[in-house]
Structure 1
Amino acid sequence: MDDEGRVLGVVSPKDLLTRESEHSFLKFRPKLRRKVQGTSAGELISRPAVTVEQDAGVTEAARLMEDHRVHRLPVVDDEARLVGIVGRSDLLRGFLRTDTELNEEVRTGVLLRSMSLDPNTVSVVMHNGVVTVGGEVERTSMIPVIVALIRRLDGVVDVPERLTAGLDDGHLPIEEPVGTGVLDSLKRRA
């Protein structure tokens, strides 16, 4: 960092490994020679530092890490001063949820709210992000919808399903909805 706390660069594991390895092509790459012969952080750092603003979202930080192939990002304020460091594990933490939290989200969010099912009629078993659902639902067409909604939840790894249905509606034709809106009634009059 400079005297005002602004990030100048970062010493990465790659920088340290470069310093420790032997390179016969140093005479052709002055920047690499500086790193290999460097004895201070200032001589080893990769410049400019890839940083993320403190107001940036998780997606932006993850994209920066992926694009620049780094494992940690300095977090800076509006004046580019260092306020912290974010690592890959920090970004993942937001997606990791306990089995108890996932169970509640599946029962309340998916089964009750989205599918209008009594959560007590479906068995929901969690283990390390694997959500196994079983029991009987009204129609077979509901099964892939339930599985898809559960898969979309953050922290879900897999959704083995053991669901059956009281009515096999897979063979029924899909009918176009009959227009019943105001515009449809006006069209019929014309």
Structure 2
Amino acid sequence: MVITWYGNACLGIETRERGEESKSLIFFPQDKTSRSHAMEERAAIVVVPQDVKPNEGVFAIIGPGEYELAGFSIYAVPANISGSFGAAVKIHVENMNVLWLPALPTRPLSDKEFDDIGEIDIFLLPLNQEKNGKYISPDAATAVSLMNAVEPKLTIPFAREEKTMRDFFEEAGVKNAETLDKFSIRKKDLPEELQIIHLKV
């Protein structure tokens, strides 16, 4: 599995089974001038807010539900996280569980939400909160607290400002993190202890 960050809440996941063409899913694709557009054009699945029209011929997830498509098992868990997309998205692919949130929750997740999310291998963690249609940067301890509660093996944070990203790494105690263009991972290579990955746009 290969994970790429395209900026803001837009990330892509690409998977390839032996002897088959790669299949991809993209979260919150950006406008057609962005770097994410090429991946959106070939994606089997997009996760988008209800007010965004996806490309023709692509399967769009616009809210809570369960979906099985193109090698991805997807559970969009109802959660009051973001005004534009009311769900946390859990994906099972290549025998790994990936969690993506559109924005950092403005309140702690409930016990039921944690139960629905279940065990997570890779957490795509937003560092910005959405309030009244605008994105703000709470203190980094909020994101670190959520990460610790989810207990993933790997975390890939994303933010709208570089300072927010730096503050998170400092709060998490990570120094001199290697910055990657994309991140490749297989089930057998998951770490025993939490590892935080720094992707660049």
* TM-score under structure 1 length normalisation: 0.23
Q: RCO (CA 8 Å, sep 6+): is it higher in 1 or 2?
A: 2
Bigger strand fraction: 2
Q: Which has the larger radius of gyration?
A: 1
